[in-house]
Amino acid sequence: MAKPKPLVIVESPTKVKTINKILANKYKVVSSMGHLIDLPKSSLGVDIEHDFEPKLIIMRSKQKYLTQLKKDAKNRKEIYVATDPDREGEAIGWNLMNQIGDGKKVYRVTFQEITKDAVQRAFQNPRDFDVKLVNAQLARRILDRIVGYKISPLLWKKVGSRLSAGRVQSVALRLIVEREREIEQFIPQEYWQIHADVQKEGFPDILKANLEKIDNEKFELKSEQEAKQVIIDLENERFSVSNVIQKEVNRNPTPPYITSTMQQDAFYKLGFNANKTMQIAQELYEGIEMQDETVGLITYMRTDSVNISQEALEMVRKFIHRTYGEKYLPETPNKYKSKKSAQQAHEAIRPANVFKRPEEIRKYLKEDQYKLYELIWRRFVGSQMTPAVFLQKRIEIQAGKYLFSAAGSVIVFDGFLCLKMDNQSQEDEVPIDLSHFAKDDLLKLLGINPSQHFTKPPPRYSEATLVKALEEDGIGRPSTYASIISTLVYRNYVIRDRGYFSATELGMTICDLLVEYFAQVMDIGFTAQMEENLDLVEEGELDYVKLLRDFYVPFNKELAYAMEKIKKTHNYVDQKCPDCGRQMVIKWGRRGKFLSCSGFPKCKYAQAISSGIDCPQEGCDGKLVERRSRGGKTFYGCSKFPDCTFTCSELPKSEKDA
């Protein structure tokens, strides 16, 4: 009887095929289908009195997968756990081995990219499980569970049923709510700008120069009257070039992507939201069918490290030298510094093989996969190229006490900018020919143009700027950004409109309640410090039970105070329940406000809140009501649904304006 092959367990079924081919069928490769063991949904699942002992259970929906894994492991002596190379992957494997690893040799293998060399090297150098990583993930899970399960019942009591609060999501919500209020409270301030059209005799070009200083000082023109006075003064002034400043400026390449910067660029350049970006990156990481093989095209996509392996560095330098030539290759590799909190064992997001150029493998990729791969490939290659060089020229023009200026730049050497993507907007200044201007040149005034402006409120957070704010404030980690955003939208705490977020009335209500009663949980600095403490647990410098205890003691005091102060309230309306005659009340649910019978749960009658606008459908006597799609978008539908299926994205203007 043949000896059973060693068992290899990965997280996702997509990886099974890729890794099986790499290992040449010498192992039995199976998938755990993600987490199989977790805290129970029906209870807190944490014994706070006994060092926060978690009561982990087999998830009911995953029982069949565990049963199959037990069968797969039954007669095998060796198990290799090849789950993802982060805290989450470490914990998934650790919990699983407590179920099926007894009496067997268990090895942990990790790789940053799913390529033949990386996978084979990992199997040649297996390691033990890192308990510090497991503890850090467990501490995060318990923290999130305590906050969610302890605060959510207070929201049900004060606001509405089936609402919930998350430890990290609530702080992200606060950012969006505070920005929304800044916008609401903003009062525009008027200001004026002035530019002059001037020309040097003998040259056809008209130069547009902006007024910069008056009496050598920065200025503010706050009204049309002030602007007109400047124009009157200038009409009698002599315009001449007072200074010409010229210099070469280097623009350095940017570091290779980490999770947050990839999400930001994918939003700006490709229009992808954070969730879509991570899904496509996962596909590129796990493997793409190419001819007769499945190939992992990029390194692991959840990382905050800009580190590059020596092997990858040597490969990209060889590629640059061979493809672009010596002048595009720095004498020594460009080095970039990761944040203090970055996991140094991880790498930046980069192509697994830089010689697989995007255009050469495009036929194997879906369009969105190609776009993201191209973005990652160009960013990585560019990060190891020479700087671009610009010649900047600035002309200063004096007209009495008024100083104008005009500037332009031309590219001298493109350097890493030779990789600019076809769909990338032109970031450089439009070249302006300033070569024929010299000091003391007299200029002819062709016209003076004032323009009125108003200060603008801060912009709403976009997918990109929210991720950037979360990263800068130390809220969450690379693996959590996309889920934070998705959760806020799913709960109807924020609305996402074309990639930009605004807080809903429900979101503001929840945020205000949490800020009032849970100052610690909602404090941005405290949340960032907690992330740093979790990093210390991972590094073995902080005991995770101490971290939990230090958090829980003050949190429990806030919780006790909130439970004492928050009273159950009903927002009654002047309407009777058609089923039982009790008073109707306004309640909040995940999809917004609705009317419910005050006799709930004995009477379960509920209805949407009418906008008061008649349904436009001919022959229908229904009213339009606000609804939300599963994707979080607001729309209006007929109250007679399903008899009437009319929907629209906004209320009819004539009715709404009236």
- Spatial neighbors of 205 by CB under 8 A, at least 6 apart, are 199, 433, 436
* pLDDT in the model for residue 587: 85
- On whether both 37 and 92 belong to a single domain, the answer is yes
> What is the CA angle 84-88-93, rounded to 5?
70
- On whether both 263 and 379 belong to a single domain, the answer is yes
Residue with tokens 């800044």: 182
- On whether both 27 and 125 belong to a single domain, the answer is yes
- On whether both 18 and 117 belong to a single domain, the answer is yes
- On whether both 160 and 305 belong to a single domain, the answer is no
Residue with tokens 């069968």: 71
Is residue 348 domain-resident?
yes
Contact in structure between 188 and 456 (CB atoms under 8 Å): yes
Is residue 271 domain-resident?
yes
Is residue 145 domain-resident?
yes
* pLDDT in the model for residue 421: 57
Domain CATH code at residue 95? 3.40.50.140
Cβ burial of 277 (10 Å; 0-12, 13-18, 19+) is buried
Domain CATH code at residue 394? 2.70.20.10
Among 565, 580, 606, the domain boundary falls at: 565
- Spatial neighbors of 227 by CB under 8 A, at least 6 apart, are 192, 194, 221, 450
Question: What is the number of structural domains in the chain?
Answer: 5
- On whether both 270 and 246 belong to a single domain, the answer is no
Question: Tens digit of pLDDT for each residue in 52-92?
Answer: 999 999 999 999 999 999 999 999 999 999 999 999 999 99
* pLDDT in the model for residue 426: 42
- On whether both 85 and 122 belong to a single domain, the answer is yes
- On whether both 122 and 34 belong to a single domain, the answer is yes
- On whether both 181 and 194 belong to a single domain, the answer is no
Listed as ranges, residues in the chain with pLDDT below 50 are: 422-429, 655-658
Model pTM?
0.88
Is residue 307 domain-resident?
yes
Is residue 2 domain-resident?
no
**Catalytic positions:** 300
* pLDDT in the model for residue 39: 96
Report d(CA 484, CA 171) in Å as an integer. Answer: 10
What CA–CA distances, in Å, run from 259 to 96, 173, 299? 27, 21, 11
Among 454, 481, 498, the domain boundary falls at: 454
* pLDDT in the model for residue 428: 45
Is residue 345 domain-resident?
yes
- Spatial neighbors of 46 by CB under 8 A, at least 6 apart, are 39, 52, 53, 54, 55, 142, 145, 146
Is residue 1 domain-resident?
no
Is residue 37 domain-resident?
yes
Domain CATH code at residue 492? 1.10.460.10
Question: Tens digit of pLDDT for each residue in 235-286?
Answer: 989 999 999 999 999 999 999 999 999 999 999 999 999 999 999 999 999 9
Among 90, 108, 129, the domain boundary falls at: 129
- On whether both 330 and 428 belong to a single domain, the answer is no
Report d(CA 279, CA 285) in Å as an integer. Answer: 10
Half-sphere exposure of 423 (CA within 13 A, CB side): 12
The backbone region for 498, taken as left when phi is positive above 0, alpha when psi lies in -120 to 50, beta otherwise, is left
What does the chain come to in residues? 658
- On whether both 263 and 371 belong to a single domain, the answer is yes
- On whether both 362 and 270 belong to a single domain, the answer is yes
Query: Which domain range does residue 91 map to?
Result: 7-129
